[in-house]
Amino acid sequence: MLIDTYGRVATDLRVSLTDRCNLRCTYCMPEEGLQWLAKPDLLTDDEIVRLIDIAVTSLGIEEVRFTGGEPLLRPGLVGIVERVAALEPRPQMSLTTNGIGLKRTATALKKAGLDRVNVSLDTLRPDVFKTLTRRDRLKDVLAGLEAAHDAGLTPVKINSVLMPGLNADEAPDLLAWAVAHDYELRFIEQMPLDAQHGWTRDGMVTAGDILASLHTRFDLTPERSDERGSAPAERWIVDGGPHRVGVIASVTRPFCGACDRTRLTADGQIRNCLFAREETDLRAALRSDAPDEEIARIWRLAMWGKKAGSGLDDPSFLQPDRPMSAIGG
């Protein structure tokens, strides 16, 4: 098991497949992009599958989520999914993506064994989409979403980040649209994980703001607390059901006490928290021919040292060196 000193057990592995992206969301990375990882530093497909194999067979991982950067940019993605689906025990598998390219790949991903997708979409207005992501690709995202739904990668979840002055007024429209299309919408509070360090507490849209805005158009009933488990989203039943809406309030209502996550970066570093400032190098162990037991031991040790919380409320909080796109959100 991957257990820490507070007794939390990690069963959910987030794997970043690349730090590159074809969008430039303002809350994530600058217009010019970032200094991408060099190819030799990236884990190979074989190395990724080996680490996931160790995680599911020796460390109690039950769920694997592929992310990035934009994971659909990884050429070997379908093959990786297929090989992970053949592992024993077979983990649940999902993908967090901006949806560009999903139209082309959804059926192949489903066939390879992917269970679900989370697609990030912050606005339904083409002009706002272009400002927010710095690319004119809304149509591609909508087509990708439809393809994912048709391929059975369900429930299709949507991640939305609201930004003041851009799409902060769009929460009710996004929810009405998501309900009509049978997508499960979750709002994510903007976190201090952007490469430009532009986040400010005063300049973010909070869970309170989002709920107040949704209440103007919908009747929301809180889901029973025992239904939440370790899920980061608090959820509400929309207008009596069956649809639900979630809010991931990492900043104003942190859920660190129930965290069950461990993260692997595209260059083979283990992070025990999104906000951790330390990483543990598994790539060096992999490339020095360490046996599986040794890699599992290093991974366990990395998780043992997980801090109680993100530290966001501490005046001494320091943003991690890597931005969200390089950690794997």
Where on the chain is the footprint of ligand SF4 (CB under 6 A)?
21, 23-25, 28-29, 68-70, 98, 120, 325
Where does residue 60 rank: exposed (0-12), middle (13-18), buried (19+ CB within 10 A)?
A: middle
Contact 247, 234 (CB under 8 A): yes
Return the residue of 106, 114, 193, 296 that touches ligand SAM, per CB under 6 A: 193
310 is a contact residue toward ligand SAM (CB under 6 A): no
Q: Residue 144: which region, alpha, beta or left (left: phi > 0; alpha: psi -120 to 50)?
A: alpha
Question: Shortest approach of ligand SF4 to residue 160 CB, angstroms?
Answer: 11
DSSP 176-227: HHHHHHT-EEEEE---S--TT----STTS--HHHHHHHHHTT--EEEPPGGG
Q: How far apart are CB 283 and ligand SF4 at their closest, in Å?
A: 21
Q: Which does 269 bind (CB under 5 to 8 A by kind): ligand SAM, ligand SF4, none?
A: none
Residues that contact ligand SAM, how many (by CB under 6 A):
20
Which candidate, 162, 188, 154, places its Cα nearest to that of 329? Answer: 188
Q: What's the closest the beta carbon of residue 87 comes to ligand SAM, in angstroms? A: 23
Shortest approach of ligand SF4 to residue 267 CB, angstroms? Answer: 16
Q: Dig out the tokens for 24 from the structure.
A: 């430039």
Footprint (CB under 6 A) of ligand SAM, residues 103-142: 120
Q: Which stretch binds ligand SAM (CB under 6 A): 37-45, 65-73, 108-116, 149-157?
A: 65-73
Phi, psi (5° rounding) for residue 295? -65, -40
Q: Which of 217, 147, 214 is nearest to 185 (CA)?
A: 214
Q: Cα–Cα distance between 18 and 313 in angstroms, integer?
A: 30
| Shortest Å, Cβ 290 to ligand SAM | 29
Window 196-235: contact mask with ligand SAM (x via CB under 6 A) = ----------------------------------------
Which C-beta is closer to ligand SF4: that of 23 or that of 51? Answer: 23
Token couple for 118: 């989370």
Give yes or no for residue 188 binding ligand SAM (CB under 6 A): yes
Among 97, 213, 265, 272, binds ligand SAM (CB under 6 A): 97
Nearest distance from C-beta of residue 223 to ligand SAM, angstroms: 21
Question: Applying CB under 6 A, does 254 fall inside the site for ligand SAM?
Answer: no
Q: Residue 226 CB, nearest distance to ligand SAM (Å)?
A: 26
CB of 18 to ligand SF4, least distance (A): 9
Q: Which does 24 bind (CB under 5 to 8 A by kind): ligand SAM, ligand SF4, none?
A: ligand SF4
What is the number of other CB atoms lying within 10 angstroms of the CB of residue 293? Answer: 9
Q: Which two tokens stand for residue 11?
A: 């069963």
Cβ proximity to ligand SF4, 18 vs 280, nearer residue:
18
- Hey, which residues between 9 and 28 contact ligand SAM (CB under 6 A)? 21, 27-28
Structure tokens at 75: 């050429």
Residue 191 touches ligand SAM, criterion: CB under 6 A: yes
Separation CA 198–CA 164 (nearest Å)? 13
Among 165, 198, 306, 190, smallest CA distance to 252 is for 190
